[in-house]
Amino acid sequence: MDLFLAQPATAQDLPDFGDSAGGVISPEQERRLGEDLLRHLRAHADLIEDPEIEAYVGSLGTRLVTQSDHRAQHPFTFFLVDDPAINAFAAPGGFIGIHSGLFLQTQAEAELAGVLAHEIAHVTQRHMARSFERASQLSIPVAAAMLGAILLGTQNPEAGQAALAAISAGSVQNRIDFTRANEEEADRVGMQTLVRTGFDPMGIPAFFERLQRANRLSENAELPEFLRTHPVTVSRISDARSRADQLPRGNYQDSMGFYLMRAKLQVSAVQRPLAAVEYFATRSKEQTTGAAQAARYGYALALTKAAQYDKARSEIQALLRADGEQPAYLLAAARLDLAAGRTPAGLEVYRNLLGLYPGYRPAVLGYVEALVAAGKPRDALKVLGDYARDHERDLTYYRLLAEAEGKAGAAVEAQIAMAELRFLSGETELACEQLRFAQRSRTTDHYQRERIAARLKDLARQLAREREERDESDWIVRRGPCTIEPG
Confidence check: pLDDT of 20 > 50: no
**pLDDT for the residue 12:** 35
Q: How confident is the model at residue 75 (pLDDT cuts 50, 70, 90)?
A: confident
pLDDT over 90 for what percent of the chain? 50
User: Who wins on pLDDT, 34 or 446?
Assistant: 446
Average pLDDT over residues 89-95: 85
Confidence check: pLDDT of 470 > 80: no
**Calpha distance 432→419 (Å, rounded):** 7
Average pLDDT over residues 460-477: 60
Confidence check: pLDDT of 395 > 90: yes
Of the residues 35, 111, 119, 420, which is catalytic? 119
Task: Note the pLDDT tens digit of each residue in 259-306.
Answer: 999 999 999 998 898 999 999 998 877 656 778 899 999 999 999 999
**pLDDT for the residue 291:** 83
Active site residue 119: yes
Task: Note the pLDDT tens digit of each residue in 110-159.
Answer: 999 999 999 999 888 876 666 554 444 455 555 555 555 555 444 444 44
Look up residue 356 and give its amino acid.
L
Q: Give yes or no for a contact between 140 and 155, defined as CB atoms under 8 angstroms apart.
A: no
Which stretch of DSSP H or E encloses residue 89?
strand 88-91
Active site residue 445: no
H helices of 389-469, in order, are: 395-407, 411-424, 428-440, 446-467
Q: Is the dihedral of CA 219, 224, 225, 228 positive or negative?
A: negative
Q: How confident is the model at residue 25 (pLDDT cuts 50, 70, 90)?
A: low
Q: Is the dihedral of CA 479, 483, 486, 487 positive or negative?
A: positive
**Calpha distance 452→415 (Å, rounded):** 10
**pLDDT for the residue 249:** 73
**pLDDT for the residue 96:** 93
Q: DSSP assignment, residue 136?
A: G
H helices of 75-174, in order, are: 100-105, 109-124, 127-131, 140-153, 157-168
Average pLDDT over residues 70-91: 83
**pLDDT for the residue 341:** 96
- Output phi, psi for 80, to 5 deg: -115, 135
Task: Give the C-alpha distances (Å, rounded to integers) separating 414 from 56, 218, 402, 441, 485.
Answer: 30, 56, 4, 12, 21
Of the residues 111, 187, 200, 405, which is catalytic? 187
Domain definitions of the chain by residue range:
27-245, 410-487
